Amino acid sequence: MKNIFIISLFLLAFAAIFFNSTPDNKAEVIISVKNLNSPKIMNYLEKDFNKQSGIKFIDGSLMANTIVLEVVDNDIQISTLSQLLENWGCRIESISYRILSSVK
């Protein structure tokens, strides 16, 4: 009985260490967009961006001509973002990228 208890504790500790040691990094991507000038285009872009697996959140501002994304770190390419924008007549003027946090 004592051996089962010790083995159970060992397995529980191992599982806790293993599952906590592989965090996903979240990042914020702010894209300045040229020709982001209508709510209709913004809606189409939101739908297209939401189809991408690495994007967890999207918001945009027509007034500031920006799109804000929350992405899983290293899970989306700039070329993919550029292509999605170009499909709707928009293009990237600048991109700002920063790591937000590590999430378990």
Assign 76 a pLDDT band (cuts: 50, 70, 90): confident
Domain span at 61? 24-103
Number of separate domains in the chain:
1
Domain assignment of residue 1, yes or no: no
In the predicted model, what is the mean pLDDT of residues 50-72? 90
In the predicted model, what is the mean pLDDT of residues 55-76? 87
In the predicted model, what is the mean pLDDT of residues 46-51? 91
CATH number at residue 34: 3.30.70.100
Domain assignment of residue 7, yes or no: no
Domain assignment of residue 56, yes or no: yes
Cβ neighbours of residue 27 under 8 Å, at least 6 residues apart?
A: 70, 71, 72, 73, 97, 98, 99, 100
Domain assignment of residue 76, yes or no: yes
In the predicted model, what is the mean pLDDT of residues 66-87? 87
Distance CA 38, CA 61 (A): 10
pTM of the predicted structure, to 2 decimals: 0.70
Domain assignment of residue 46, yes or no: yes
Assign 32 a pLDDT band (cuts: 50, 70, 90): very high
Domain assignment of residue 61, yes or no: yes
**Burial label, 25 (beta-carbon count in 10 A; 0-12, 13-18, 19+):** middle
Share of the chain above pLDDT 90, in %: 42
Domain assignment of residue 14, yes or no: no
Domain assignment of residue 8, yes or no: no
